[in-house]
């Protein structure tokens, strides 16, 4: 028989062990996840490598790291076991009860906590695992099946995504109380020209929104640092420069003064997203339906109520 017509398959137990190790980057944790002995996991991964004459992990005293081949296989394995998860969900379905885990990626906790509270109240058997990052990072995690749903800061115009707009958020500046602007409530955009500023890392939609407004108005601040979200607040409090943040995310702090930009206001948007090919998974479907219902309620609010929200 022509070899091209043969049915090719991979040993599912070996692939499952590889997937667990690749996810946890630990043979011990993978064994606990699969409820089998560590020697069995090690044997199955080694057999998979030997069968195809490929190295899937780099082993060193510092721990495990996936090789390029391992990374590629893990991407496919995530899709395979996502379908298995969908099958289990169908088999376990009992009326409106949903159980299991929902992995949520978000650009910030402020945009998602109200939704998660409502989700938890409606589906108390679900466990939610939350991780944060900038929009590009969370978007890529969604594409790689590392999170089930995502709260992101832009419309990526990606036909693979089911997107629901959550809101539009003003970007503001904040400074140390000891800054010359510490006693003010607002500034004009042109005052940022030459101003020492602390920016988020590339991939942040808050940063992108401000940069677009700055570029249109030919305003060039002096960007002295680029650091992740958690570090910006402390850098600004230490007097290293002015920072930017979505008004929604700014928390009162006696060390800091928030300032609105009086003219040429920058805005970001927030969206809930999932992969269309996974939207039939019951936990994902339940979360997105809750988001749609919440979005519809906001749309129906009177203008005065929307302003408060």
Q: pLDDT value at position 192? A: 96
**pLDDT score of 308 more than 80:** no
Shared domain for 148 and 294, answered yes or no, is yes
Q: Which residues, including other chains, have CB under 8 Å from residue 122's CB and lie 6 or more apart?
A: 286, 290
Q: pLDDT value at position 149? A: 96
Q: Check residue 201 and report its DSSP letter.
A: P
**pLDDT score of 4 more than 80:** no
Does residue 146 lie in a domain region?
A: yes
Does residue 38 lie in a domain region?
A: yes
Per residue in 137-154, pLDDT (tens digit) is: 999 999 988 899 999 988
- The total number of structural domains that make up the chain: 3
Are 196 and 141 in contact by the 8 Å Cβ rule? The answer is no
Pick left, alpha or beta for residue 50 (phi over 0 → left; psi -120 to 50 → alpha; otherwise beta).
alpha
Q: Is the dihedral of CA 140, 152, 257, 113 positive or negative?
A: negative
Q: pLDDT value at position 304? A: 35
Q: pLDDT value at position 97? A: 67
Does residue 89 lie in a domain region?
A: no
Q: pLDDT value at position 301? A: 46
Torsion (CA) 23, 24, 29, 33 in degrees, nearest 10: -30
Shared domain for 108 and 29, answered yes or no, is no
pTM score: 0.64
- The whole domain housing 114 covers 97-166+269-308
Does residue 39 lie in a domain region?
A: yes
Shared domain for 132 and 244, answered yes or no, is no
Task: Give the pLDDT band (50/70/90) at residue 107.
Answer: confident
Q: pLDDT value at position 80? A: 85
Shared domain for 129 and 276, answered yes or no, is yes
Per residue in 267-306, pLDDT (tens digit) is: 988 899 999 989 888 889 999 999 998 877 665 444 333 3
Shared domain for 275 and 162, answered yes or no, is yes
- Average model confidence (pLDDT) across the chain: 86
Bridge partners of residue 165, in order along the sequence: 271
Per residue in 183-242, pLDDT (tens digit) is: 999 999 999 999 999 998 888 888 999 999 999 999 999 999 999 887 899 999 999 999
Does residue 34 lie in a domain region?
A: yes
Shared domain for 177 and 256, answered yes or no, is yes
Task: Give the pLDDT band (50/70/90) at residue 124.
Answer: confident
Per residue in 39-66, pLDDT (tens digit) is: 999 999 999 999 899 999 998 888 889 9
Q: CA-CA distance, 86 to 271, in Å (whole number)?
A: 24
Shared domain for 134 and 66, answered yes or no, is no
Shared domain for 15 and 78, answered yes or no, is yes
**pLDDT score of 164 more than 80:** yes
Decide which of 21, 54, 82 is a domain's last residue.
82
Q: Check residue 24 and report its DSSP letter.
A: H
The full length of the chain comes to 309
HEC string of 226-277 equals ECCHHHHHHHHHCCCCEEEEEHHHCCCCCCEEEEEECCCCCEEEEEEEEEHH
């Amino acid at each position: 028989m022509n070899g091209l017509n043969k049915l090719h398959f991979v040993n599912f137990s070996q692939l499952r062990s590889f997937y667990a190790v690749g996810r946890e980057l630990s043979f011990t944790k993978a064994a606990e996840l699969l409820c089998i002995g560590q020697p069995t996991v090690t044997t199955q991964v080694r057999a998979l490598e030997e069968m195809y004459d490929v190295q899937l992990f780099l082993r060193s005293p510092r721990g495990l790291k996936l090789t390029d081949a391992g990374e590629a296989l893990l991407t496919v394995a995530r899709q395979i076991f996502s379908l298995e998860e969908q099958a289990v969900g169908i088999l376990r379905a009992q009326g409106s009860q949903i159980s299991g885990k929902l992995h949520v990626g978000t650009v910030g906790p402020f945009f998602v906590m109200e939704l998660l509270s409502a989700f938890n109240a409606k589906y108390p058997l679900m466990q939610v695992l939350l991780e944060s990052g900038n929009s590009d990072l969370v978007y890529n995690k969604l594409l790689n099946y590392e999170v089930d749903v995502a709260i992101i800061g832009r419309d990526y115009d990606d036909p693979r995504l089911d997107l629901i707009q959550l809101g539009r958020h003003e970007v503001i500046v904040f400074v140390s109380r000891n800054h010359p602007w510490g006693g003010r409530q607002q500034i004009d955009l042109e005052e940022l020209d030459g101003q020492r500023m602390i920016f988020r890392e590339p991939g942040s939609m808050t940063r992108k929104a401000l940069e677009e407004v700055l570029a249109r108005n030919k305003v060039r601040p002096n960007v002295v640092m680029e650091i992740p979200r958690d570090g910006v607040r402390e850098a600004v409090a230490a007097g290293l420069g002015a920072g930017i943040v979505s008004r929604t995310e700014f928390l009162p702090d006696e060390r800091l003064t928030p300032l609105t930009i009086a003219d040429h206001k920058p805005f970001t948007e927030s969206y809930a997203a999932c992969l269309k090919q996974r939207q039939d998974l019951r936990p994902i479907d339940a979360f997105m339906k809750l988001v749609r219902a919440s979005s519809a309620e906001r749309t129906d609010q009177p203008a005065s109520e929307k302003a408060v929200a």
